[in-house]
Structure 1
Amino acid sequence: MVVRRRRKIKKYRGSRTVGRGCAKRGRGSGEKGGKGLSGGHKQKWSYILRYIPDHFGKHGFVRPDEVSAEILAINVGDIDEHIDELVEKGAARREENKFVVDMSKIGVDKVLGGGKVTHAIEVIAKEFSESAKKKLEETGGKAVAGGV
């Protein structure tokens, strides 16, 4: 059964309590079903269905972090630029006329083709872009896929 009440829209201008008894009672939105969309599952349902139908419930899908692992990548130009530092750290070594760099030692998964390559570098990594392979081979180096 729907309860019908008269709305309090009496104009008590100049009155301290405006027909609400004491001042505390008129502060919230008690007789109007709460402020905003409060009680949206119980009242104001027609408003929710019309204007925000997707307000309640689950929507979409979020891939677990374990499935979508982040791939750490580096440009061949950066490897070439910091080759001396990589040798000092032990991630690279010099063999005859070229450098051999193991990307797994610095935690890099993929090598990209950005930048310029001036040294002959053999890079060991999990993945390579086509442009990275091309740039390494042009300078006398090579891309070895399948690093652990």
Structure 2
Amino acid sequence: MTIMAKKKKQKKRGSREHGRGKKAGRGAGLRGGRGNANPNGSRKLTTFEEKGTDYFGGHGFNRPPEVVEETVTMNVGDLLDEVDDLAEEGFVDEEGDTMVVDLEAAGIDKLLGAGRVHKTYEVRVPQTTDKAHDKIEANGGSIEVTEPDEDASDGEESSND
């Protein structure tokens, strides 16, 4: 009966360098690079199969913070809490049971629909959601949607002489 020869992997068990020498046995070159590094792309192919082709590379860009305009919002549920503060600053007038609130002058850009409406409001605001509009009107109030103020510099033409 012939004896089967041991495989190389089994032969090298117990030896420190597995026949590579001290230096060659160190580092990522021993295993074909770290992570997904491989000139032949065999590791990338498996990643494509698992995660799709959009996994590698950058996508899109971030706009500079000085260009991005943040929208200041308020929920209809917060109107009752904020009415006293807004009245002190002169943004609220009372006409009988109705509170006339000028959110545009208060610096609020959009009225959102979260919360409950407990009083009758007439609100001036540049933008509103449908839900907020419905809640205010269901309680007997009204919303006047104004055009958002554009910067004066946008409308002017500059001449470079």
Bucket of the pairwise TM-score, normalised by the shorter protein: 0.5 to 0.7
Instruction: Please give the residue correspondences for 1:96-135 in structure 2 after superposition, counting only pairs within 5 Å.
Output: 96-97=95-96, 98-135=98-135
Instruction: Please give the residue correspondences for 1:16-35 in structure 2 after superposition, counting only pairs within 5 Å.
Output: 16-22=16-22, 24-35=23-34
CA contact (8 A) 2:91 2:106 kept: no
Instruction: Please give the residue correspondences for 1:68-79 in structure 2 after superposition, counting only pairs within 5 Å.
Output: 71-79=71-79
TM-score (norm 1): 0.61
CA contact (8 A) 2:24 2:30 kept: no
Which digits, 9 at most, give the CA deviation of each residue in 1:79-110, with x for residues without a partner? 1233112212x152224323322223444322
Give the CA deviation at 1:129.
3.0
Q: Which residue of 2 aligns with 1:93?
A: 92
Amino acid at match of 2:36: L
Give the CA deviation at 1:145.
0.8
Q: Which residue of 2 aligns with 1:4?
A: none
Give the CA deviation at 1:64.
4.8
Give the CA deviation at 1:47.
4.7
Q: CA 1:141–1:26 in 2, change beyond 3 Å: closer, same or farther?
A: same
**2:41 equivalent among 31, 39, 45:** 45
Q: CA 1:130–1:91 in 2, change beyond 3 Å: closer, same or farther?
A: farther
Between the aligned residues of both structures, percent identity stands at: 37
1:101 & 1:142 partners in 2: Cα distance?
10
CA contact (8 A) 2:83 2:92 kept: no
Amino acid at match of 1:145: V
Give secondary structure in 1 for the equivalent of 2:11.
coil
CA contact (8 A) 1:91 1:101 kept: no
2:107 & 2:11 partners in 1: Cα distance?
73
CA contact (8 A) 1:91 1:105 kept: no
Q: CA RMSD in A?
A: 3.6
1:120 & 1:9 partners in 2: Cα distance?
83
Amino acid at match of 1:73: T
Q: Which residue of 2 aligns with 1:81?
A: 81
The unaligned stretches of length 5 or more in structure 2 are 1-7, 150-161
Q: CA 1:105–1:27 in 2, change beyond 3 Å: closer, same or farther?
A: farther
Q: CA 1:9–1:29 in 2, change beyond 3 Å: closer, same or farther?
A: farther
TM-score (norm 2): 0.58
